[in-house]
Amino acid sequence: MTDDGRAAVAAVEAVANRIERERDYLTQLDSAIGDADHGGNMARGWAAAADAARDLDDPDAQTVAKTVGKTLMSKVGGASGPLFGGSLVFASVELDDGVTAESAVAFAETYLEKVKDRGDARVGDQTMVDALTPAVHTFKKSIETDSRPALEALAKAVDAAERGVAFTVPIRARKGRASYLGWRSVGHQDPGATSTLFILEELLAVAADQLDSEVPDVDATSPTIPDEAGTDEGTTPEPEED
Amino acid sequence: MKKLINDPDDVVDEMLDGMTAAYPERLRRLPETQVLVRDDGPVEGKVALVTGGGSGHEPTHAGFVGDGMLDGAAAGGVFSSPTADEFGALIDACDAGDGVLAIIKNYEGDVMNFETAIELAEMEDVEIDSVVVDDDVAVEDSLYTSGRRGVCGTILVHKAAGAKAAEGAELSEVKRVAQNVIDNVGTMGMALTSCVTPEKGEPTFDLGADEIELGIGIHGEPGTERTETMPADDVTDELTETVLDDLDVDSGQEVLTIVNGMGGTPQMELFVVNRRLQELLGERDIETWDAWVGDYMTSLDMAGASITVCVVDDELKELLGAPADTPALTVR
């Protein structure tokens, strides 16, 4: 197995374990604003994905990503299957030449683009896009503009995602099941943004482990980069209107 | 609540096997999937029409698989979308190399899973396009949807586009016809009782003994107005007026109408509704070209009905009247 492949399988196992540990928490978040199935669906999907990844014979990272994406697509169900799984299948195309800082940026950007297209969502809609967008933009900027090492860039991305998750709390859902609640969605943390953060945290931990490094301590004030479409709508909670 | 089932977990699987057992010369189930396709497919020289969605709406979807309509349909769990890989297996099995049109009802899960499968098929060089049906005039956004819901008008999309595809028309033409139906059809439904899903085993929503709900969806999701029970004529007027106003139908225009049962309503009552519907159209000088009455797009055992009106031009009349031979709809 290539180093990339070994790391990828380890990452998938770590994510599956984490999602299983957080299963009840994710379901609890989802029961407030959705149909209380995010924890169970994700745990089932990632457990199957970890099994599928382990069963691969000497895979590279691309094969692992594609297999995990397809498994999530078939096992998670609802909208999360295409969002988490489908996007991973499309993003895996960027790993033709293995995992490098450059291909990881392309992978992350394609993943974000597919999630946004598929969900027709942008920053400020109280979705996983709120965690993913600042994470991907921060990762790209750290590598391409600031020439930081990949592990540090990933740590900054996780930090940005964390604040993206917090950002979903005071805003109103405009996409997904929660949007039906209108203003009643204000004050709730988005489950998809939360599980996205957990996935990124596990990727960071596995990456540090593979590189035999400590997780870098990042400056917690690195800016959250807004969506190009702007975030003016929905950032300020307004009074109940209906 | 009592149900004639074995295990709620097996309901869809056992239903699909029962369907292929009922129509062994028409329907075939793809192994390891919940996809039913034409037994004689893929049909060469023809654009393939595919659809799918949650189960519990029978005879939708697979009931309309056959000559002159659909080439295959993917069945999800009760009221939940098929996964993208099931849609992928459906597309792969039905594509004869002459293009594929996916007919999607406007629900977030259906749209996202189907679109993912379509994009993956495009990467494999399948010529494929899609339309999204959103004919429910009652609500803008609802529990499962951004925008309007896709309901009974979908059957007319299957019928018209299916007839066009059977003529050997190319994909863009088949899509144009499908979109023409979507642009000219409107539906509104009502419920006398809630549906009962096999898994939950009790009513999805509470409706008092003397209450009805107007503008209801096909998954037990809320409607627009809850009122005291009314005579059939008053209900018919309310639904029909809303649909006609939304479609902006003028006197002198020709329409096809459907009085659709929601699964738990006797034909007797559907005909009572149709009687008033036709009377009302007559009062408005709207000419009924054809009137369908029956269960086409159901919501399990929900009692109630929906009224669909589709404005028809010469082309749609020819296509909607063309022969079709499927388990649930035969036109000769």
Whether residue B299 has pLDDT greater than 50:
yes
Q: What is the rounded distance in angstroms from the CA atom of residue B265 to the CA atom of residue B306?
A: 11
Which amino acid appears at position A92 of this protein?
Answer: S
pLDDT score for A230? 43
Instruction: Please tell me chain A's helix, strand, coil percentages from 3-state DSSP, rounded to the nearest 5.
Output: 65, 0, 35
Closest CA to B217 of B149, B156, B120: B149
Q: What is the rounded distance in angstroms from the CA atom of residue B61 to the CA atom of residue B158?
A: 10
Tokens for B217? 């969806």
> Average of pLDDT values for B21-48?
97
pLDDT score for A184? 86
Measured between beta carbons, which residues in chain A are less than 8 angstroms from residue B12? none
Q: What is the rounded distance in angstroms from the CA atom of residue B101 to the CA atom of residue B118?
A: 10
pLDDT score for A239? 40
Which amino acid appears at position B259 of this protein?
Answer: V
pLDDT score for B39? 97
Q: Say whether B268 sits in a helix, a strand or coil.
A: helix
- Which residues, listed in sequence order, are joined to residue B310 by a DSSP beta bridge? B185, B256
Starting at the earlier edge strand, list the strands of the sheet with B128-133. B27-29, B35-38, B72-78, B48-55, B100-105, B128-133
pLDDT score for A236? 38
B219 is catalytic: yes
pTM: 0.90
Cα dihedral value A67, A73, A196, A166, nearest 10: 170
pLDDT score for A127? 94
Mean pLDDT score across all residues of chain B: 96
* Active-site residue, from B145, B219, B220, B281: B219
Whether residue B255 has pLDDT greater than 80:
yes
pLDDT score for B81? 93
pLDDT score for B1? 84
Q: How far is CA A187 from the centre of its chain?
A: 21
pLDDT, tens digit (0-9, with 9 covering 90-100), for B3-22: 999 999 999 999 999 999 99
- ipTM of this complex: 0.82
Sequential DSSP letters for A140-199: HIIIIIS---HHHHHHHHHHHHHHHHHHHSSSPP-SSGGGGGGGGGTT---HHHHHHHHH
Look at B84 and A175 and tell me if their CB atoms are within 8 Å: no
Residue B259's H or E segment, with its range, is strand B254-261
Digitized pLDDT (tens) for each residue of chain A, 242 residues in all: 678 999 999 999 999 999 999 999 999 998 888 778 899 999 999 999 999 999 999 999 999 999 999 999 999 988 899 999 999 999 999 999 999 999 999 999 999 999 999 999 999 999 999 999 999 999 999 999 999 999 999 999 999 999 999 999 999 998 887 887 788 889 999 999 999 999 999 999 999 999 999 998 886 655 555 554 444 433 333 443 44
Look at B141 and A179 and tell me if their CB atoms are within 8 Å: yes
Q: Is B119 on the interface with A (CB under 8 A)?
A: yes
B57 is catalytic: yes
Q: Can you list the domains of chain A with their CATH numbers?
A: 3-229 (1.25.40.340)
